[in-house]
Amino acid sequence: MTLCHASKEIIEFPEVRKTKYTKDFSWGFYCTNNFEQAVRWANRGEEKPIINFYSYVQNKKLNILKFEKMTDAWLDFIAKCRKGETHPYDIVEGPMADDTIWNYVNDFLLGRITRKQFWVLAEFRYPTHQISFHTLSALNSLEFERSEIVYD
């Protein structure tokens, strides 16, 4: 399977970096199988939009969590990760909480909306995909293919 990573630089050797803010599935190296989504992300900001392409071969020995769609378990997992909690998984895959969905997640976390209200708001969002690599063993399942500058 080919995965894309949106960036402003060529990344031949992916790494997991701890940053100030956590993402949907905590700290990790994030990719997608959705090229259009990667192009949108790469074109945010001023610098050159670069898409890095990787071949990915799943290693069944790794601890992998996969969410097929947005569910209560997905919402709870993202809520914990966005609050800074970590998890034991090498790889996590599932829908992405884009900026709009993240606003709904944040409202849910702050008690501004109920779980039921979250699902009503999130129901009509377009499908997204992300797969995050959280350990060196997970990163070893990626092989750099190429990079391209891609404007939207």
For the segment 26-75, what is each residue's pLDDT rounded down to a tens digit? 999 999 999 999 999 999 999 999 999 999 999 999 999 999 999 999 99
Element (H, E) at 52: strand 50-56
If you ran DSSP here, which 8-state letter would residue 125 be given? P
The pLDDT of residue 13 is 97
For the whole model, what pTM was predicted?
0.91
pLDDT digits (tens, 9 = 90+) for 89-135: 999 999 987 778 888 888 998 999 999 999 988 876 667 899 999 99
**Rg (the chain; Cα; Å):** 16
**Position 141 confidence tier, pLDDT thresholds 50, 70, 90:** very high
Q: Residue holding tokens 């990790």?
A: 28
How far is Cα 72 from Cα 115, in angstroms, rounded to an integer? 8
Report which secondary-structure segment, H or E, holds 104: helix 99-109
> What's the Cα-to-Cα distance from 122 to each of 66, 95, 136, 149, rounded to whole Å?
19, 12, 33, 32
pLDDT confidence of residue 82: 86
The alpha carbon dihedral of 66, 67, 72, 77 has a sign of positive
Q: Write out the residue range of the structural domain in which residue 70 sits.
A: 2-149
* Number of domains within the chain: 1
**Predicted local distance difference test score (pLDDT) of residue 125:** 66
